[in-house]
Structure 1
Amino acid sequence: MSRLDSMLRRLAAQRDGLNWAAEQIAVLPGDVVDLGLGNGRTYDHLREILPDRRIWVVDRVLQCHPSCTPPEADFLQGEAEPMLRKLAQTGARIALAHYDFGFGIKEKDVAEAARLSPLIAAVMQPGGLIVSGQPLVGFEQLTGPDTIAPDRYLFYRA
């Protein structure tokens, strides 16, 4: 499979997974967190499908498209570990988390996801969902929508 085809499959899975998760948390109170802003496409989609939820964003740098810049009060800029601790200090309870951190080196990405999993758990609303491109630990793994190939995207309940 070409890298272009792989990217298209990943983006479709991400969109389908977020749409599915948004439906699942419809009655669950809590905020949303986008872990890894990047260009802002996912953040923009979350704003569209969850317009009444506060959406926190964590990333090392702010380098998104100008139309996708989160409000300053909702953007936690810095390394993931201290920013997740800061999010916990706000008292935010997260109903939906999207995990999209990565260096592009599978072993390093998997290790970081495992290391950050307890910090993510600390901010999650009981029963909240996590949509992730990397395997997380300490959560109940779920089967996501049928449109997504197994292990293309991962789904967890806190």
Structure 2
Amino acid sequence: MSRLNSMMRRLAAQAEGLEWGATMVDSLEGDFLDMGLGNGRTYDHIREIAPDRRIWVIDRALNCHPSCVPPKEDFLQGEAEEMLKKMATDGTKVAMAHYDFGFGDKAKDVAEAARLSAFIKEIMLAGGVLVSGQPLVGFEQVRGPTTVAPERYYFYRT
């Protein structure tokens, strides 16, 4: 499979997973979280599918498309561990989170996801959903939307 086809499959899985996740937590009160803003495409999609939710965003830098800049009060700039600890200290509770941090090195990305899992767990509501491009640790892995091939994207309940 070409890298272009692989990317298209990943983006489709991401969008379908986020839409699935939003429906799974419809009855939960809580915020949403996008970990890894990048150019803002995912954040923009979450805004569209969950217009009534507060959407927190964590990233090291604000480098997104101008139309995708989150409100200042919802953007946590810095290292993920520090920002997740701040959210926990502030009592933030998240119903759905999307994990999309990465260095571009699979082994390093998997290790970072495993390391950050405990910090993510601290802010998730019981019954919440995690949609992730990397495997996470300490959550119940579930089957996401049937349109997404297993291991293309990861889905968890808390």
Q: Secondary structure at the match of 1:10?
A: helix
Cα deviation, residue 14, structure 1? 0.2
For residues 25-50 of structure 1, give each alpha carbon's deviation from its aligned partner in whole angstroms, at most 9, with x where no partner exists: 10011000000000000000000100
Q: Deviations over 1:61-107 (max 9, x none)?
A: 00000000000100000011001111112211000000000001010
Identity %: 68
Distance in 1 separating the partners of 2:135 and 2:151: 9
Partner of 1:143: 143
| Residues in 2 aligned to 1:35 and 1:8: alpha-carbon distance in whole angstroms | 20
TM-score by length of 1: 0.99
Q: Which residue of 1 aligns with 2:15?
A: 15
Q: Identify unmatched segments of 5+ residues in structure 1.
A: none
Partner letter of residue 115 of structure 2? R
- State how far apart, in whole Å, the 2-side matches of 1:24 and 1:128 are: 8
Q: Post-superposition, which runs of at least 4 consecutive aligned residues in structure 1 deviate over 4 A?
A: none
Report the equivalent of 2:124: 124
Aligned equivalent of 2:45? 45
Shift of 1:111: 0.4
How many residues in Structure 1 have an aligned counterpart in Structure 2? 158
RMSD in angstroms over aligned alpha carbons? 0.5
